[in-house]
Structure 1
Amino acid sequence: MSVEVAPVNSPASSSAERSHHHYKIFKPHGYLSQFVPETRKSKKLLGELTDFPLGVMAIGRLDHDSEGLLLLTTDGMVSHQVRSKKVDKEYYVQVDGDIDDEAISKLQQGVEIGIKGEKYLTLPCQVFKLDSAPQLPANGRRVRDARHGPMSWISITISEGKNRQIRKMTAAAGFPTMRLVRVRIGNITLGKMQPGEVIELSDISSIL
């Protein structure tokens, strides 16, 4: 399905009259998935990427150290729809060590993690090892020297979104996360976007 998109503030986007606005962005490493700081500490926020309209909100979150696809909208109903378990999310995850079939099987079946002090068993999900490192933009952060041991990449697709879930899952399987990039939400993909890039979507609900 083709999706009409237009860069923010382009003639195509400014000429169209919409009751709501929707965006996809490549959240860079080091940014918070919010517009208002929670503390007085200086943190990079989404509003620094471009001038968003009043009332725009992030649909879900990527933590400070995670990167990739994040959807924004001014429509609360769309936000609720995207955050539901009907819409899956895919992540490319670099893990510490050469992950094996046993660990992948554990992740696929569900692993026990901690959520707000309680034990939680993650739902079954899709996991597979990538044959090679994905072509992703550099994030300006060196993970560690390869001489300290091997690293590998996996794809994880989940339908839930607990706090820091992916990181907790790979750690529970014995392979801590080194880099985490969300590449897909439903049918919307990161594609060839670059960190900090913002694209306005003509619609979200019809392409999820």
Structure 2
Amino acid sequence: MSQLILFNKPYGVICQFSQHELHPTLKDHIALPGVYPAGRLDTDSEGLLLLTGEGALQHRISDPRWKLPKTYWVQVEGRVSEEQLEALRAGVDLGDFVTRPAQVRQIEPPALWERKPPVRFRKTVPDCWLEIIISEGKNRQVRRMTAKVGLPTLRLVRAAIGPWQLDGLQPGELRSISVNLEDLPALSHAERLGQGRDAPARKSTAAGSKAGPQPSFRFARRNKP
């Protein structure tokens, strides 16, 4: 069994253990020796970050070939239209790459912790929340996707990676669990044969469906963030 750390990264924390002259880092929150992030989360994003000291487990989580779905709750500026949702689902041309099809739907504002500093709103502009599930992890991908379709991101919270969820963790809190690599999804025979080759940018997948599975997170929903 491998040890996996689930950590709710607060806003403004950099995903590194070395000190930073401007921002707090993981070192200020995690005292466990020998663990490292499996993947990354932008400094201005919040939510689930996975850490482990096991190389095989870190590889399974961070290697894009395993396509672990990542679930984000995204507060965007503006009223969302069906055309904008369809554009996000189909794949967005960001110039340097085209995103894979995603699961996207509008949701009620989740009952989250208060962000520090708070989000700056424009009183004359409405906002709404989206749930976006992607299987990629390019730099600032979700923010770039929403901006491309005319919905600038105000707040971004990662709620789940694969089978692991925030599940009530508050900012700065962590939980240690044991993971058996044999219990994680395996690559299909076709995917194993395709390793080392670039996948088509617009490969058709089930992730493009309109309605994804209902989230099972324990955060209650409320009307205002």
Matched residue SS, 1:138: coil
1:177-198 residue CA offsets vs partner (Å, 9 max, x unmatched) = 0000000111111111100001
Query: Match for residue 75 of structure 1?
Result: 54
Aligned twin of 2:190: none
Compute the displacement of 1:60 (Å): 0.8
Once the two structures are aligned, what percentage of the paired residues are identical?
Answer: 40
- Point out the structure with the larger strand share: 1
Match of 1:144 in 2: 120
Instruction: Quote the residue 2:104 is aligned against.
Output: 127
For residue 31 of structure 1, what is the aligned residue in structure 2? Answer: 13
Unaligned stretches of 5+ in structure 2?
Answer: 186-225
After superposition, what is the alpha-carbon deviation per residue over 1:69-101, rounded to whole angstroms, capped at 9, x for unaligned? Answer: 010000121111112343110000000111111
**Structure 1 residues 95 and 194, CA gap change in structure 2 (3 angstroms):** same
Q: Which runs of 5+ in 1 are unaligned?
A: 1-17
Structure-2-length-normalised TM-score: 0.76
* 1:16-44 deviations in Å (ceiling 9; x for gaps): xx7x532000000000111124xx62321
Instruction: Give every structure 1 segment of 4 or more consecutive aligned residues whose post-TM-superposition deviation is greater than 6 Å.
Output: none
* Root mean square deviation of aligned Cα: 1.6
Matches within 5 A, 1:8-47: 20-37=2-19, 41-47=21-27
State how far apart, in whole Å, the 1-side matches of 2:133 and 2:29 are.
27
Q: Which residue of 2 aligns with 1:4?
A: none
Residue 168 of structure 1 pairs with residue 150 of structure 2:
no
1:25–1:69: 8 Å Cα contact kept in structure 2? yes
CA distance in 1, matches of 2:138, 2:75: 19
Mapped to 2, the partners of 1:67 and 1:43 lie a distance apart of 14
